[in-house]
């Protein structure tokens, strides 16, 4: 590949908006435009006017009729490729990879990826009854539905990420031979490491270090959300943040006067996914799609994960980076972030990994020749992407669709059944909490004597069963109890 086909990142831009008056807050489109201007300034070359391909990360807080078109009009550009992404936390990694592929094929010269959310301002305005003077909302916007999830799971209320990821947390703890207390301690140490990086990142939303004890201990400001996660172990979407990355070819960068020391090569990566309906997966203590995309990244690094001098493991909830670290064979205490994580840096929903990419570029510019790994995830442990940046210039951009490999490793999902009674064993579980910090209900994924799978609730008055699910001395996975019919189409389970 000659220099006009070698894709490199040349500019990064981030913006954080914290207005005292919500009426003065920047809308997502304005945050993106400002981030792109900052990326151009970072590159030190006039590139925004030359953008011929732009990918916009899905923005949730404010439904635009055509966000890419409005953004391009604001910037005075007319790129041939203009794309608005689907919902998914892995999409920034995907878009960076796809932009690099277009440059490598000669289809694009200057590409941009950008994203932003302003949920903090939107929520503040709603509370104060303020009408925001932003681009009018799309009157035809439809709320997201999750009809792809099993009706049984939706009926029992386990249909949001904060309620599904704990199923993986508790299942992985059991598979790794940890007690819940040990799992909580590992999560708290890990999250404290994220907060330490966020504290030194001027673009983070929360800029202070949180001690492990503060993260692990429920309190008025750190209430339990879904067992075993308190608030400080969950993604924080109440932020106003935007980010942008500019990519071009090495030849174009050089012609624009950008020093090679400021350009970051893209080595490549991989993609794969799990079944959309998490109840149709073979188990909850690993994700085959995660495994294969991280194996592909390892291959790029010559089989040695220690060659990744810098890493960003997606961090919506602790189970994700804990699973990724183990898959890569890295020791406990490995620094998992260059940006600060979705709790402390802040989670502009689908766009966090673009901020991570900005952090990775800064890290790699200060560490010439080093490799960096971006690992992103979307959905309910569903969509997985890896991308390796940095290192020596390469004539090959690696792009691997590993869906077939992930599917081949996946065992058959247990038959999903409803309306059963009798003995049932916990496969995994969580407990959902009210805003006052008291349990609302428990939720258990169960296996029946014939191997079938089902789901049931534990009502709040069954304190003995809730206590058994939340004991910290031993895992509740494998606990046997009785399944019965409840009210309103729910199933109940008691220890």
pLDDT tens readout for residues 422-438: 999 999 999 999 999 99
Please state whether the peptide bond connecting residue 318 to the residue before it is cis, i.e. omega within 30 degrees of 0: no
Report how far residue 239's alpha carbon sits from residue 277's, in angstroms, rounded to the nearest whole number: 29
Digit-coded pLDDT (tens) for 111-154: 999 999 999 999 999 999 999 999 999 999 888 889 999 999 99
Query: Looking at residue 48, which CATH number applies to its domain?
Result: 3.40.47.10
pLDDT on residue 421: 96
pLDDT on residue 1: 61
Q: Are residues 255 and 394 in the same domain?
A: yes
Query: Looking at residue 482, which CATH number applies to its domain?
Result: 2.40.50.840
Please compute the mean of the pLDDT values over residues 157-181 and round it to a whole number.
98
Digit-coded pLDDT (tens) for 461-482: 999 999 999 999 999 999 999 9
Instruction: Name beta bridge partners: 53.
Output: 81, 111
Question: Is 211 within the bounds of a domain?
Answer: no
Digit-coded pLDDT (tens) for 82-103: 999 999 999 999 999 999 999 9
Nearest in space to 325 (alpha carbons), one of 291, 278, 296, 352:
291
Q: Are residues 111 and 252 in the same domain?
A: yes
| Polymer length of the chain | 495
Q: Taking the C-alpha atoms of 243, 68, 111 and 314 in order, what is their torsion angle to the nearest 10 degrees?
A: 40
Instruction: Name beta bridge partners: 388.
Output: 268, 373
Question: Is 160 within the bounds of a domain?
Answer: no
DSSP code at position 132: P
Q: Are residues 437 and 313 in the same domain?
A: no
Can you count the helices (H) and strands (E) in the chain? 14, 17
Joined together, the tokens standing for residue 222 give 């750190």
Digit-coded pLDDT (tens) for 266-298: 999 999 999 999 999 999 999 999 999 999 999
Contact criterion met (CB below 8 Å) for 411 and 285: no
Tell which of 368, 383, 409 closes a domain.
409
Q: Is 369 exposed, middle or buried (0-12, 13-18, 19+ CB in 10 A)?
A: exposed
Question: Is 112 within the bounds of a domain?
Answer: yes
What is the number of domains present in the chain?
Answer: 2
Q: Are residues 326 and 462 in the same domain?
A: no
Tell which of 376, 409, 442 closes a domain.
409
Structural domain for 332, as ranges: 3-136+237-409
State percent of the chain over pLDDT 90.
96
Nearest in space to 276 (alpha carbons), one of 382, 432, 203:
382
Q: Predicted confidence band at 3 (pLDDT cuts at 50, 70, 90)?
A: confident
Digit-coded pLDDT (tens) for 222-274: 999 999 999 999 999 999 999 999 999 999 999 999 999 999 999 999 999 99
Report how far residue 246's alpha carbon sits from residue 128's, in angstroms, rounded to the nearest whole number: 37
Contact criterion met (CB below 8 Å) for 431 and 441: yes
Digit-coded pLDDT (tens) for 138-148: 999 888 889 99
Q: Are residues 434 and 315 in the same domain?
A: no
pLDDT on residue 316: 97
Instruction: Name beta bridge partners: 444.
Output: 429, 456
Q: Are residues 117 and 253 in the same domain?
A: yes
- Determine the Cα angle at 192 with ends 190 and 197, to 5°: 100
Q: Is 396 exposed, middle or buried (0-12, 13-18, 19+ CB in 10 A)?
A: exposed
């Amino acid at each position: 590949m000659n220099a006009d086909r070698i894709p490199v990142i040349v500019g990064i831009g981030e913006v954080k908006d914290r207005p005292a008056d919500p009426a003065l807050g920047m809308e997502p489109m304005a945050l993106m435009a400002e981030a792109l201007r900052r990326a151009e300034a970072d590159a030190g070359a006039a590139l925004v006017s030359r953008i011929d391909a732009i990918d916009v990360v899905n923005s949730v807080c404010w439904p635009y009729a055509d966000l890419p078109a409005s953004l391009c009009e604001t910037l005075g550009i007319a790129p041939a490729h203009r794309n608005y992404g689907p919902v998914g936390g892995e999409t920034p990694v995907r878009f960076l990879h796809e932009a690099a592929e277009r440059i490598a094929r000669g289809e694009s010269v200057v590409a941009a990826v950008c994203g932003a959310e302003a949920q903090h301002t939107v929520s503040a305005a709603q509370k104060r009854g303020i009408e925001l003077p932003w681009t009018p909302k799309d009157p035809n916007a439809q709320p997201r539905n999750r009809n792809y999830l099993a009706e049984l799971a939706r009926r029992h209320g386990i249909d949001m990420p904060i309620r599904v990821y704990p199923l993986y947390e508790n299942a992985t703890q059991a598979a790794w031979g940890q007690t819940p207390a040990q799992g909580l301690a590992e999560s708290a140490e890990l999250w404290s490491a994220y907060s330490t990086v966020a504290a030194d990142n001027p673009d983070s939303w929360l800029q202070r270090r949180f001690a492990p004890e503060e993260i692990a201990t429920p309190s008025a400001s750190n209430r339990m959300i879904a067992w075993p996660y308190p608030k400080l172990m969950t993604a924080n979407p109440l932020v106003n943040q935007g980010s942008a990355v500019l990519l071009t070819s090495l030849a174009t960068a050089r012609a624009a006067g950008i020093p090679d020391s400021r350009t970051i090569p893209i080595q490549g990566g991989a993609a794969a996914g799990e079944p959309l309906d998490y109840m149709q997966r073979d188990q909850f203590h690993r994700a085959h799609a995660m495994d294969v995309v991280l194996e592909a990244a390892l291959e790029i690094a010559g089989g040695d994960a220690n060659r990744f001098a810098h890493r960003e493991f997606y961090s919506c909830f602790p189970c994700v980076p804990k699973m990724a670290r183990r898959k890569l064979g890295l020791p406990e205490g490995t620094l998992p972030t260059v940006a600060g994580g979705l709790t402390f840096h802040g989670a502009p929903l689908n766009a966090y990994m673009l901020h991570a990419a900005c952090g990775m570029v800064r890290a790699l510019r200060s560490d010439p020749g080093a490799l960096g790994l971006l690992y992103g995830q979307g959905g309910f442990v569903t969509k997985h992407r890896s991308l390796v940046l940095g290192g020596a210039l390469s004539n090959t951009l690696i792009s691997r669709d590993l869906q077939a490999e992930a599917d081949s490793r996946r065992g058959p999902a247990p038959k999903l059944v409803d309306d059963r009674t009798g003995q049932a064993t916990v496969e995994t579980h969580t407990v959902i909490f009210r805003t006052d910090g008291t349990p609302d209900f428990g939720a258990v994924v169960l296996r029946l004597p014939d191997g079938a799978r089902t789901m049931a609730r534990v009502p709040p008055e069954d304190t003995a069963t809730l206590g058994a699910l939340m004991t910290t001395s031993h895992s509740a996975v494998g606990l046997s109890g009785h399944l019965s019919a409840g009210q309103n189409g729910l199933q109940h389970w008691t220890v």
